[in-house]
Amino acid sequence: MTERKPREVLVREDLPAIDPARLRGMFDDLSAIGGTPGGGVTRLAASREDGIARDYLRDWLDREGFRVHIDQVGNIYGLLDLAGAGAPLILTGSHLDSQPLGGRFDGAYGVVASCEAVRSARAFGEARSRPFSRNLAIAAWTNEEGTRFQPSTLGSSVFAGLYETAAALSQADRDGVTLEQALGGIGYLGTDDPPSRVESYLELHIEQGRRLEDGGCAIGVVEGNWGTVKYVADIQGEAAHTGPTPMKERRDALLAAAQLVILCRTLSDETDGELVTSVGRLDITPNSTNIVAGHVRMFAEFRALDSARLADGCRRFEGAAARVSSPGLSISLRRTTERAPGSFDSALCSLVEAVARIRGYRTMRLHTVAGHDAVPLRAVCRSGMIFVPSVNGVSHSEKELTRPEDMEAGATVLAGALYALATGTDGL
């Protein structure tokens, strides 16, 4: 997308304030949906719990006077016509799905904060009879986490034209249930067209790291993203008895997987963590204590800010997989995600910084290691991200925590940035 240089036009009196109690109340309501005894949530994409959370959001949007659209992959849009039909659109949002035994803040905080920010921006402008030049909208994207269905950021990638609708709907979970079937089961297999004329997208999210906390900063201005490559490795061996089968004759798929798991960590250690690697899931068949594993499906990922380093790690992993293969044991690799390192819109970064400065918040520029819906949105509009601190950098865990004052800070900055964009006082 073409970037334009920002101008310093914001003044303190021109920014809305949010209601912290209202923000917290909505967040607590959502946190109870799929809540776990350990204080987290399990709300997998298109699950029963996800359906209840979607209903909660949809009811809120209806009450607040938004037009609600649901597209073919279940993305929810709340559209607010402030500047009239056909005006450019400013979009904000995040996702409602979680990891299993995941945190309450990941994604859901961004959706709730978007609701409060847009509500506050609208009320602020109407109270001052300030004309809006752009419409506002909230999005809740389908299957951002990529836990139940692969790949991650699936709904936003379809919106951005990076993934075909039919391919997305055909993705199946471990039980063979497709996304299409799951969305139909919870009543969110939509038929509406997604919004058009989206000019900018701004997403608020927890950092999921500890740089902001360590630096004493309330707001992270996200300049770009690390590159990511994710693999599914199908390792086909031969099931056999774990007792009488001679060791030399075993075709142990799990042993081959273990060798690749260790390699992934070794590749990262060699770069002192500049290449981040992980194997987070193994599906073992037949998964019995007395049977040599006949088949293993392994999920591996590689992340780096430097594209050459990322490519080298992937090359070495693929080469090792070829070497581990042997007569009677084969490894098939499939890349499910290929996300290059990239930059967010520089003018949006400057706008976030300006709003944060006016509100008195310390900021830090940083890159996101994790993937977010803002990354695919970059293909179709100006896209940017705001981070708030994560206590001890913990995420994808029931211990995930962002302090109330940081939640308020993020929503306040988001509201100010959205208001400036929607009223044309942003200088973009």
Q: What is the DSSP string of 322-367?
A: HHH-BTTBEEEEEEEEEE--EE--HHHHHHHHHHHHHTT--EEEEE
Q: What is the pLDDT of residue 285?
A: 98
- Quote the pLDDT of residue 8: 47
Strand order in the sheet with 330-339: 275-285, 295-304, 227-236, 330-339
Quote the pLDDT of residue 130.
Answer: 86
Q: How many CB atoms lie within 10 A of CB 384?
A: 24
Which regions in the chain score pLDDT beneath 50?
1-12
How far is the C-alpha of 374 from the C-alpha of 290, rounded, in Å? Answer: 46
Residues 6+ apart with CB under 8 A from 76: 54, 57, 58, 61, 68, 69, 70, 139, 140, 188
Rounded to an integer, what distance in angstroms lies between the CA atom of residue 380 and that of residue 1? Answer: 7
The Cα 43–Cα 36 span in angstroms is: 10
The per-residue DSSP string of 300-319 comes to: EEEEESSHHHHHHHHHHHHH
Instruction: Give the list of residues 6+ apart from residue 278 with CB closer than 8 angstroms, or none.
Output: 264, 300, 301
pLDDT of residue 2: 46
For residue 25, the tally of other CB atoms under 10 A from its CB is: 13
Report residue 201 as tokens.
Answer: 């997208």
pLDDT the model gives residue 115? 98
**The dihedral sign for the CA sequence 386, 391, 397, 398:** negative
Residue 387: per-residue pLDDT: 98
What integer pLDDT is reported at residue 14 of this predicted model? 74
Task: Identify the helix (H) or strand (E) that includes residue 231.
Answer: strand 227-236
